[in-house]
Copies of this chain bind each other. A is one copy, B any other.
Amino acid sequence: MNSPSSIKTVDRLVRILDCFTPAQPAWSLTELSTHLQLPKSTLHRFLVSLETYGILHRDLHDKRWRLGPRLFAWGSLAAESIDLRRIARPVMRDLVAATGETVILTAYYGQEVICIDKVETNHSVRMTLEVGTRRPPHAGASCKVLMAYLPGEEIRAIIRDKGLPRLCTNTITDPDELLTELGAIRERGYAHSLEETDLGAWGVATPIRDWRGEVVAAIGVAGPTSRLTDQLVQQYVALCRQAAQRISMLLGAGIGSRNEEQPQTKREASK
């Protein structure tokens, strides 16, 4: 869950803030104290300190602690740093229109896959994944495709550190089986999944590359099994791949030797 960093106070801070999840977004002091195995006095000092800056917020109504507006502000700013979103959004909208299913944009960070953006379909029965949600990398199409293009070292680290917990009926829990699957994904250039993360859900996903050809994100289509047929899957894979390529292109991928030849050439000719 948490590897130690160079500043212990930061470690604690992260441990505290990470307790706030969609499942439990509000905590009382005592609850947190027992959950984190931290003395109430220490925790209390942290909470009050964090409240000073609006990082946490004590609800006047139920007297519980929640994530505060400062995090909201920082988070919004962090989102702007990801200009990938701005670039990908129109393409994602097109993909939703073409497939009639929810489209998600994901990236890998720190042994987790985070949902950067989503565009939902209008179908009343639809796949939904909240923006900002983090998931383990071994289950689901978007997760697997991102994992597939990590360095082998990193893949082994994930399996070692996080294990392969079963999230749903078809989650791959055997390391060897997963490695084989990741190899297959690299070969095919896309990943698909069926009930690996949620019952009644399927997904396909393809990698997005930056100007260096590095996989920096994934775009995925996901929906309920009720609308699933084999032909559709192949169609969706093709559309998804096109979308990924369009985004990659916008990120400067495939311009060829544009950045390969530059290093020698000095632009400072006027000097």
Q: Which residues of B contact A50 (CB under 8 A)?
A: 5, 10
Q: Which residues of B contact A246 (CB under 8 A)?
A: none
The smallest beta-carbon distance between A162 and chain B, in angstroms, is: 15
Is A269 on the interface with B (CB-CB < 8 A)? no
Q: Which residues of B contact A254 (CB under 8 A)?
A: none
Mark contacts of A1-41 with chain B using CB atoms, 8 A cut-off: 1 yes-contact digit, 0 otherwise: 01101110111011001001110011000000000000000
User: Which of A61-69, A96-104, A142-150, A201-209 has 4 or more CB atoms under 8 Å from chain B?
Assistant: A61-69
Report how far A81 CA is from B132 CA in the complex, Å: 13
Instruction: Count A-side interface residues using an 8 Å CB cutoff.
Output: 53
CB-CB under 8 A for A109 and B76, given A13-B10, A45-B6, A71-B71: no
User: Which of A52-60, A169-177, A190-198, A225-233 has 4 or more CB atoms under 8 Å from chain B?
Assistant: A52-60
Is A49 on the interface with B (CB-CB < 8 A)? yes
User: Within the complex, which residue of B9, B22, B77 is in contact with A20, where a contact is CB–CB below 8 Å?
Assistant: B77
- Give how many copies assemble into the complex: 2
Q: Which residues of B contact A78 (CB under 8 A)?
A: 66-69, 71-72, 75
Q: Which residues of B contact A94 (CB under 8 A)?
A: none
Q: Which residues of B contact A20 (CB under 8 A)?
A: 74, 77
Mark contacts of A130-160 with chain B using CB atoms, 8 A cut-off: 1 yes-contact digit, 0 otherwise: 1111100000000000000000000000000
The smallest beta-carbon distance between A74 and chain B, in angstroms, is: 5
CB-CB under 8 A for A132 and B77, given A5-B52, A54-B110: yes
Contact indicator B69/A77 (Cβ below 8 Å): no
Contact indicator A3/B69 (Cβ below 8 Å): no
A residues apposed to B, CB below 8 Å: 2-3, 5-7, 9-11, 13-14, 17, 20-22, 25-26, 45-46, 48-50, 52-55, 57, 66-82, 107, 109-110, 114, 116, 130-134
8 contacts between A and B (CB under 8 A): A6-B45, A25-B81, A69-B78, A71-B75, A72-B132, A73-B134, A75-B76, A76-B133
